[in-house]
Amino acid sequence: MGKELKVIAYVKGLGEVVETAADFYSELKELKLGGARLISPRDEAYARLQTIGKDNIGEDDGTRTRAGFDYAKEQLPILRLNSRLLNPALAKKAVKSNRANAYFHTETTEEYEQSLKQAEKDMSKEPSKRSAVVLPSRDNFTISDKENWEIYQAVLKDQAKPYFEFNGPITVYPIDRKVVDAQDGTIETVLWFRNLRNWSDFSGISWDLGNAYRARGVRESAEGTAKISKQSINSYTSKQAQKYLKILDGVRKGNLPASRLEEIVKYFNR
């Protein structure tokens, strides 16, 4: 089993916010072993807002997130709410590439084209429902309530308005266009959500996946996951309830893999 994840806060409506620091591939493994998922930009924004004046998540430190960027030669970047580098095999390749002072990229632009189709399809949806967004520039640009607001909403979802009121505009930093145009295929990165002291910038550069930089995760605690009312528990035997509560507690503490939760879901679905 990997090292124990550091719990930095319990956030109501979200669960335990944990963190680790390793290369990106190792972080994904550690989070999975600890029953946690890499945090999304939306959940990071929510955690920051909910811990103001107490744990102050994100006040001094940013985090790697689930989101990411796709780049192709002479094309606008695409921001995906779920980076392809969440795939451990690709994450491992990205770490290797970064350590060799290069960006990880695929052999063709097929991945970029797939993301483009998804982004075009999502245009008919409300911004907060989109999973991929074509960015308006290949250079640094700002998202705020006056410019590119739909991107703010797409990334931070229901937390866009409260986070803007708290933080203000956010600058998005894509990879330099000269670097993108010097290669074929699709460059894949993850979104670094910078800390509040850096105005919460979204960095799509992601050059450091081979280094030990922070990654926060969310782990649904027994309190957050087992929202089973007394009435629903009474419809099952005490022995069954105890069995599944023990599994929930084991996942929360990292003693059991998150896959054990599937056993509970299947049982209650029946």
Confidence of residue 231 (pLDDT cuts 50, 70, 90): very low
pLDDT by residue (tens digit) across 44-94? 999 999 999 999 999 999 999 999 999 999 999 999 999 999 999 999 999
**Domain map (residue ranges) of the chain:** 6-219, 224-269
Q: What single DSSP character describes residue 177? A: H
Question: How remote is the C-alpha of 200 from its chain's centroid?
Answer: 15
Q: What are phi and psi of 217, to 5 degrees?
A: -140, 170
Mean pLDDT lowest for which of 43-52, 95-104, 157-166, 260-269?
A: 260-269
From the list 122, 120, 128, the residue with the least C-alpha distance to 153 is: 128
Question: How remote is the C-alpha of 25 from its chain's centroid?
Answer: 14
- Percent with pLDDT over 70 in the chain: 82
From the list 94, 24, 31, the residue with the least C-alpha distance to 64 is: 24
Q: Are the C-beta atoms of 78 and 40 separated by less than 8 Å? A: no
Amino acid identity, residue 86? L
Please tell me the predicted confidence (pLDDT) of residue 269: 45
pLDDT by residue (tens digit) across 206-228? 889 999 999 999 998 654 444 43
Supply the DSSP string of 206-245, one letter for each residue.
Answer: ---TTS-EEEEEEE--HHHH----HHHHHTS-HHHHHHHH
Please tell me the predicted confidence (pLDDT) of residue 220: 83
The enclosing H or E element of 98 equals helix 88-99
Confidence of residue 241 (pLDDT cuts 50, 70, 90): low
Confidence of residue 198 (pLDDT cuts 50, 70, 90): confident
The enclosing H or E element of 250 equals helix 238-253
From residue 9, give the alpha-carbon distance in Å to each of 1, 30, 42, 219, 252. 23, 18, 17, 11, 14
Q: Are the C-beta atoms of 115 and 78 separated by less than 8 Å? A: yes
- pLDDT at residue 265 greater than cutoff 70: no
Mean pLDDT of 115-130: 98
Q: What is the pTM of this model?
A: 0.82
Please tell me the predicted confidence (pLDDT) of residue 250: 67
The dihedral built from the CA positions of residue 166, 168, 174 and 176, taken in this order, carries a sign that is: negative
